[in-house]
Chain A
Amino acid sequence: MSQPLQILLLDDEPIVGKRLKPALAKIGCDVEVFQEPIPALERINQKAFDIIVTDIRMDEMDGMQILDHVLAKYPKTKVIMITGYAMIALAREAMEKGAFDFIAKPFIPDDLRRVIARAADALGSPIDFSITDDR
């Protein structure tokens, strides 16, 4: 892969960004972490990310709105939804709107890395994904 994958990670729980940023950096991704949707959206408006990982339930704005905004502006960006309130209807709604994948919390960093690796493949920028056990 010539350029590192540009990833934006948005989750209002600080622990999520804290754990996932190093896990994704290990597979050569550049990760920007946000805990609030509005600043994340401002950053999205400035920069085209390859992959956006967003929580669904947040104050001010929910992940579905982020998904709509991203896909309208950057149709090629892969959006991965994560939520602690996974339900069949929500999962289907996210996929219908064009999410790349939907992951229920709690998950281990390898679960997300696997999805990131698939998204990288779909973007035509495969990454060297070797699983490290860091549950």
Chain B
Amino acid sequence: MPIIIISSETVQSAQQIAQAAAGELGYQCLGPEVLADIAAKYGIQADKLSEALGNDQSKFRRMRAKRRSQLLAYIEAEVLDRLMSDNIICWGVVSHLYVQGVSHAMKVRLLANSGQEAEKFAQQSGISVQRAAKSIQNAIRKQEQWALSAYGLNESESSMYDLVINLGQIEPDEAVRTIAGAVAYRKFKPMTYSIKSLAENALAAKVKTKLLDTLSDIRVQARDGKVVVTSKALKRERQKKAAVIKELAGQVEGVEFVEVHLINYVIREAAESFR
């Protein structure tokens, strides 16, 4: 059965709609609670994972690039692995940004009911509705900037999604019915190609977590058990780095062959030659 990926301008609406749709369809829900399991698996604090997802922008900005990539890779690997199960709705773990080329993953984008959310936020925080609305808009903008810096994707671009629902115009119950109706389309049916694409996404993410423990600045693609790793290296380090990558990636279950592409570190090499 298909996967439904729900992303939203605000966390509250994603949670509300995802849980209601899961109830309606009898699907399981995969949300941010998975971060606690990931944290336990890798021996880190769940808060750090949440920060890497951009939920605390100031801490995210202070985080080193390598650490950010590593934490995001942990999340991707676990989420992609769990998405291999059938009948699942995923929200709150930015899977709309890293589940790529999987035709049975229906991506839904929810546009917030700004007026209602501002009123609610104003009541909770004891501030004016106008200030609350501004604060919500700022948070949406910052999350978009985070998506751009972390994944190079503009998440406000509607072409990224299969379905965009404006909660300012569509009631939540109607949104849930719309999602349930759309996911029944034949085009979202799992097929050999899409199941394999998902498994390859998952394998690449696992290899990435393994490599990012010691290396940085890597890109991983998987196809039929073959893994292609692209990174940068100084000329004198090339052989050693390629051997390390092959050794580490080869340890991941499901990897049959590793191909390494190393691009010259032109700037570092130039800097070293002037010393």
Contacts and interface: CB of A to CB of B under 8 A. Distances in A.
Contact of B192 (A87, A93, A115): A115
A98 B194 CA distance: 16
Interface string A101-134: 1111011000100110000000000000000000
B186 A96 contact: yes
B66 interface: no
A92 interface: yes
A79 B89 CA distance: 29
- Tell which of A88, A93, A98, A111 has the most Cβ of chain B within 10 Å: A88
Given A95-B187, A95-B188, 4 more contacts: A96-B186, A102-B193, A111-B192, A115-B192
Contacts of B103: 88, 91-92, 95
Interface string B184-209: 01111101111010000000000000
B193 A91 contact: yes
Contact of A103 (B102, B192, B224): B192
A25 interface: no
Contact of A93 (B187, B188, B193): B187
B193 A98 contact: no
Contact residues on A (Cβ < 8 Å of other chain), bracket:
10 to 19
Contact residues on B (Cβ < 8 Å of other chain), bracket:
10 to 19
B115 interface: no
Contacts of A96: 185-187
A38 interface: no
A91 B194 CA distance: 8
A99 B189 CA distance: 10
B259 to A, nearest CB: 16
Interface in B168-195: 185-189, 191-194
14 contacts: A86-B193, A87-B101, A88-B103, A91-B103, A91-B191, A92-B188, A95-B188, A95-B189, A101-B191, A102-B193, A104-B192, A104-B196, A106-B224, A107-B192
B1 to A, nearest CB: 13
Nearest to B194: A91
5 interchain residue pairs of minimum CB distance: A92-B187, A96-B187, A91-B103, A102-B191, A104-B193
B66 to A, nearest CB: 31
A88 B196 contact: no
A98 B189 CA distance: 11
Contacts of B224: 106
B192 A95 contact: no
A118 to B, nearest CB: 9
Nearest to A112: B192
Contacts of B191: 91, 95, 99, 101-103
Nearest to B101: A88
B187 A103 contact: no
Interface in B25-80: none
- Tell which of B103, B194, B196 has the most Cβ of chain A within 10 Å: B103
Interface in B98-151: 101-103
- Tell which of B186, B188, B192, B196 has the most Cβ of chain A within 10 Å: B192
Contacts of B194: 88, 91, 102
A107 B195 CA distance: 13
Contacts of A86: 193
A107 B223 CA distance: 11
B32 to A, nearest CB: 27
A103 B103 CA distance: 12
A8 to B, nearest CB: 19
